Amino acid sequence: MPVIHLHEEAQIQPRVMVTSPTPMGKSNFILDTSGLASAFGGPEAIFLLALVHLYTGRRWLGWYNSPGSYFLGKLLACIADELPILNIISKSGGQSEKPPNAAELFKYDGRKGPKFRAIHSGAVIDETGHLAAVFVKECAGKPATLISDRESHPVNITIANLHHTPPPKVPLAGFQTHIRASVGAIVPIIVSCAACAASGFYHDWYCFSVISLGIIGNGLSCLVIGSGELIFTHPKPQEDLPPEDGLLITPEQIILLKGGEGAVNSVTRGRFSLHFDNIPLIGPCAILLMLQSVAQLLLVPQGSVFGQLMFVASIVVSWLYNLWLSSLDEEKIQRGMLMDILELKQQDRSLTKFTLGTRTGMAVFVVLASNDREKAREILDSLLPNSGTWDKWKSTIVGRLKNGQELLFNESDWSDSHEINLLRMLYKDAQAAYHGFEDSKILLYEPC
């Protein structure tokens, strides 16, 4: 049996990457952070990456060790899947073969909007798009004036006077100003760089390498993705066309869009799009982020307790910053952009909202607000039932409107009907809506 001398045994000891005593070098405590950075913070990190298209200079402020590298890497792989490995990663979540939509991945597109019915042409869009859904949400948050004598199923009506037709293409780079979002990025940058430097100072090259890789990976991702162009587009309107007023119809509210074709289709057919001229650079960023998540799993447990604490400190501070930014509410940001594009923010009375106690009153109010007596029957048919009693009631309403008569009723209007109670109730609802409309004209037609 061979004899191993002590000096030979010393020569075959493995070399380690932590070569200097650390402040917690004698601790027996083991901090398992192997899955920390990749296991949480994904939604916040993705939201933060989406903001680089909106805030001026935000693309240059991603140089910190952000959590969620696995989620970001997979997202970027969906955008740039020209490499086989990226194609496999992008399809690993069971996604369809449909080509990825970058705007949809960053939640600038993809929502389904309500049905739209044009008043004058009668054209119907059964399902509008993302911006119509955003506009409905904006209207839902507006305060309403109550118009009601009876309440069965209250319905909100928003009259949207769209005075401005946006250009067919509107760049959105730097469209939002949020100084605190940019200045706040300095905190995670300083903490990540300090944690990296401290790990290197104590020769913990495992944690030094992982933190450095996190800083580089997140910084390059923000830089590359931030070079994409976020734009608003809508179909160019045809010339010499009359106003294309129409209704966005949901169970809870009706929105009457009043304006030219270009202004109305900005809501019904407009969209946010995200375009990249540097697609080849996105692939390497995706691979770097995926490698970063693997490196965190393998290398962080090999570091010292002090180095692991430095890694955790950089991740936690970055996550808190991402969490704070995500509280800004991406939907609210998109609503603000759309209002700016339509130039509605400075014109408070361009969006006027009312609450009617019944759907019958709502339909009459919509007809009056549309100011199109010739299309009154089509509007009523699209919003209310078409049974016998309803048909008689509609004929009376339409006849009076076309003759320029007031919608005031008495017992003689319903006394000869077999359904006296129902007809009385319908006429009273119509009369209440008429009075409410007359009282609200100052809100609807006074110049903004």
**pLDDT, tens only, 14-53:** 445 555 565 655 554 455 555 555 556 777 788 888 888 8
Task: Please give the pLDDT value at position 300.
Answer: 87
pLDDT, one tens digit per residue, over 354-369 is 988 888 889 999 999 8
The Cα–Cα gap between 424 and 427 comes to 5
Angle at 292 between CA 289 and CA 296, to 5 degrees: 145
Predicted confidence (pLDDT) at residue 223 exceeds the cutoff of 70: yes
Residue 32: the pLDDT is 54
Query: What is the per-residue pLDDT for 4?
Result: 43
Q: Are 324 and 184 in contact (CB under 8 A)?
A: yes
pLDDT digits (tens, 9 = 90+) for 281-324: 888 898 899 898 888 888 888 889 899 999 999 999 999 998 88
pLDDT at 417 over 70: no
d(CA 162, CA 343): 8
Kindly report the number of other CB atoms within 10 A of residue 96's CB atom.
7
d(CA 152, CA 434): 18
What does 78-143 look like in DSSP terms, one character per residue? Answer: HH---SHHHHHHHHTT---SSPP-HHHHTTSS-----EEEETTT--EESS--HHHHHHHHHHHTS-
Q: Given this model, what pLDDT does residue 189 score?
A: 95
Q: Does residue 410 register a pLDDT over 50?
A: yes
Separation CA 425–CA 428 (nearest Å): 5
Q: Are 1 and 188 in contact (CB under 8 A)?
A: no
Lowest mean pLDDT segment, chosen from 27-31, 159-163, 275-279, 289-293: 27-31
